[in-house]
Structure 1
């Protein structure tokens, strides 16, 4: 039977995805790219929250991507009920507040970043189903990703006692840890990665903001009260939204609220935060190479490389453990294992640009 009220997917699409340069750029960030399938990351995110239990999504995005978002969602028959176009980025807590105000009443909101991979959608839906009774009772729920490694780039969740089938109280949120602490948490077996996916009622989230971040709630409410509306597009007032603190939902609400639960789940999740992460989840040939894109790739005596090209022919001889990405006039080459350093490249390129 369909749920009443249905779950409203809230898709956060404001990120720039700079670590996947040169494919991902401010004008077309990674969620707008087809990196793991024929569909883009945004389209895959929308498709995993469709069906009788789900309403049409609310998407929070950068105003410059409005036409792209509408076009991409239209192609997968997942048109947004509201497209909230932020005048500037203010992190996840205000973005979700805008969506919660737009959704109204007691609608359960399934908050999802637009650029994550979930290979096992059935497991994701089972976790959502397990969480719903607590959500309806006013709990704020997050989904804890089954940790596969002592990852220092993610926040972690200390999983507390079980409240109901598969749902646990959050004992503690842990900031991105040093290596030794991550190894200890992985070995202990009672921690999960914080994947940034949430489920809660709109009114409960806004109520938590009123207690823990009242200035943020006031700014977002005013931004929506003064918003310009054009069909499904909502343009929050720029000056009002600029007054909002710039905080993540974890810091603003989840770490401070009382009734916070976690559903640990193994669902083939990746935040696809780097070229290394893409190589890890890609189909590879017998030599460990992953090739993608419309451009031609020729490899001889080459192993464990990721090569993506959107046009230029790429030829490799006698190399291994490289990432090679060719997009337009830009070519990125670096050893596997160092793809997080793309951010440093971006900073250096910005610093070398002529000043206006």
Structure 2
């Protein structure tokens, strides 16, 4: 199904408040006309009531506004009969439960919304179409792969298993302890041993091929040694870019989806990016690490074009990287997200173009597996310079 695109802008607020993404008005996508699915919001509060009824269920919760005052909210779920068949229970929403709802606003009532995903206090994320077991956990393979609006359902947590996707520039982790035949002292003194060979690169789901080298311009080569590890963004608890951070250290990414926008919360550095499915680029884009992304469906593939980046690094010296590769504010990235037919694997193909630092377009891909594990914020706290005194 093809989607129009919409202009939206993201304003992040604290979890006790609201995030709203406004957009231009276009034809209504699915469900009832009660909700404006071309806008998205995030709202957090404490449950004080739930009703599993037909044709639509609701969860009710108290939200503290910016003035510290409590407001009564409610968000629509699916029909009570369908929720029960899918394993949902009212016990999930016991009074006092802290929840964060991602969805779309009601057209008339500013404190009513349409639910896409619910994040619980323990980090569990449950999407509108998920099937749950008796313990409230998502049943893999039984979630709905197509949304009510006809688009593939990408919502959920996606990760690259550590055993199948080691760091592409380094050896495998020593998961079985010290190498046999070495007599290690007990005082922490290091000694040099042969590094194990990289493993996990193959054709199994979730595995990756080695990334190709960048083909650099003369300017990029001249500047390669001008930077130190202290300038590496991740050593300052800051994101690097939307490509590197997506798969770094096999962190889990959370995808939330409506008919007008897809929000990806990166498991690394808590970076949040919005893919706008309705409207094009705004006249002016404020440069940022994430840039401004617009997407469209080509069949079952989500094609995303992003520009509006502030200058930064494609690769920063530090860790196993021995030199830096910069990118300019002229960088543009195209991504193609395709979910497997069984809904277990999400493949991302991407191409990076930067006339200042890349002599040729850079293309690669990676794939992630659907996970029912809980999503936890990264909450970076760099301790490399911390002393024990």
TM-score, with length taken from structure 2: 0.24
Find the structure with the greater CA-based Rg. Answer: 2
The structure in which a higher percent of residues are helix is 1
- Point out which structure has higher relative CO (alpha carbons under 8 A, 6+ apart): 1
